[in-house]
Amino acid sequence: MLRLFLMASLVVVSNSAMAKWIEMGKNEGYAVYAKPPVISKDGKTSKMWSLIDLNAAETTKGHTYLSIAEQYEYDCAEEKTKLVAFSWYSKNMAEGDVVFKDTQPKQWEKISPKSAREFLWKTACKKMTPANSPAASGAM
């Protein structure tokens, strides 16, 4: 029985670790990726990781980075979002060293219409897919 439990646990961990980044759109300065969202059991909120992959390194607060991984929580009914955690990475695609991170959840904020955050909210709440996104039409 213990062996079966350990094997099942390994499958769950492997599947979540193997979730790949899906390109959501890009422009001349960066590309935006996301991992499949985790929707709450009641369907009212969703959490999703997104990745901003920069074409050129940026330096903020003395830290140089090429990518930013962010986890946001989305209120699907109220069109609000809050940043849960983020990390800055020394290499593209959330690779290399973590040069800065913050795991202190922020306050809920209303989502601005026609913004990148609105697009990610729609994706996290299953209201939009990459195929019908602004990026697919070249609007991002």
Place of tokens 């991170």: 101
Integer Cα distance of 134 and 136 in angstroms = 5
Query: What CATH number has the domain bearing residue 60?
Result: 2.40.128.710
Higher pLDDT, residue 40 or 133: 40
Of 58, 36, 32, residue with least CA distance to 47: 36
Domain count, the chain: 1
Domain that holds residue 120: 20-132
In a domain, 74, yes or no: yes
In a domain, 14, yes or no: no
In a domain, 103, yes or no: yes
Give the pLDDT confidence of 14-39 residue by residue, as tens digits: 334 457 899 988 999 999 999 988 88
Residues in CB range of 7: below 8 A, 6 or more apart: none
Residues in CB range of 69: below 8 A, 6 or more apart: 49, 50, 51, 86, 87, 89, 94
Residue-level pLDDT at 106: 97
Mean pLDDT value across the chain = 82
Give the pLDDT confidence of 98-118 residue by residue, as tens digits: 999 999 999 999 999 988 889
In a domain, 39, yes or no: yes
Residue-level pLDDT at 48: 94
In a domain, 45, yes or no: yes
Give the pLDDT confidence of 41-63 residue by residue, as tens digits: 777 899 999 999 999 999 999 99
Higher pLDDT, residue 2 or 33: 33
* Predicted TM-score (pTM) above 0.85: no
In a domain, 36, yes or no: yes
In a domain, 33, yes or no: yes
